[in-house]
Amino acid sequence: MNESCHRFLEDPESDPSHADECEACRDAAAKSAALEQVLGGVSVDPSGHSLDPRDLPVAPWEGAAHRTWPLALAVITAILAVALALFLISGVKPAEGFRQAVTGQFPGPALLRLAVGIGETLLVAPPLFHVAVVGGFLLVNLLFYRLLRREPRGIDVTSR
């Protein structure tokens, strides 16, 4: 399509002879005439809707005032429960562990023994476990890549 095609598609009455020369514009004019016939004389504004995306309601994750407090409290509770479990597994008293975490102190040799124990356990894990971890890593990253490469969809996206 060239400049004259764009001008014709914006305003067909400005240059009606262009449709005689250009097959693509002639097809577009025929489709437009067929659409007008189907609509029965109802005028259609080709410029689109006068909808401003800034007037749309804001979703909760985009900064709306409404928050799902039960979900936020559930996440905080889950994080605290995991922290409590890890402190108990490592042999550190939870109150002491939280105090040391807040003040930035290292909780002591118990946590270091726990890290060494986890590392030694991973060394003797079956090969299928390692294959599953690598496969899961690749699968999640492939999913992220596909989500980033897909075409955006939204109110302000136009079709081609």
Task: State pLDDT tens for residues 17-70.
Answer: 777 788 888 888 888 878 777 777 666 565 666 677 777 776 656 655 556 778
Which residue would you say has higher pLDDT here, 76 or 33? Answer: 76
Report pLDDT for 160: 46
What's the CA gap between 106 and 91, in Å, rounded?
Answer: 14
Please determine, for residue 98, whether its predicted confidence score (pLDDT) is greater than 80. no
146 and 114 belong to one structural domain: yes
Which residue would you say has higher pLDDT here, 151 or 70? Answer: 70
pTM value is 0.34
Among 47-61, 76-90, 123-137, name the most confident range: 123-137
101 and 77 belong to one structural domain: yes
Please determine, for residue 153, whether its predicted confidence score (pLDDT) is greater than 80. no
156 in a structural domain: no
What's the CA gap between 152 and 156, in Å, rounded?
Answer: 10
What's the CA gap between 143 and 1, in Å, rounded?
Answer: 37
118 and 93 belong to one structural domain: no
Which residue would you say has higher pLDDT here, 155 or 14? Answer: 14
Task: Name the band, by pLDDT with cuts 50, 70 and 90, for residue 157.
Answer: low
Residue 140 φ then ψ, to 5°: -65, -45
100 in a structural domain: yes
Report yes or no: 7 and 23 within 8 Å, Cβ to Cβ.
no
63: left (phi over 0), alpha (psi -120 to 50) or beta: left
18 and 35 belong to one structural domain: yes
CA distances from 137 to 40, 48, 110, 115, 131 (A): 57, 44, 30, 22, 10
Please determine, for residue 106, whether its predicted confidence score (pLDDT) is greater than 50. yes
Residue span of the structural domain in which 88 resides:
68-107
Residue 26 CB neighbours (<10 A): 14
Report yes or no: 92 and 110 within 8 Å, Cβ to Cβ.
yes
103 and 115 belong to one structural domain: no
116 and 97 belong to one structural domain: no
Give just the sign of the alpha carbon dihedral 58, 60, 65, 66: positive
72 in a structural domain: yes
In the chain, the number of structural domains is 3
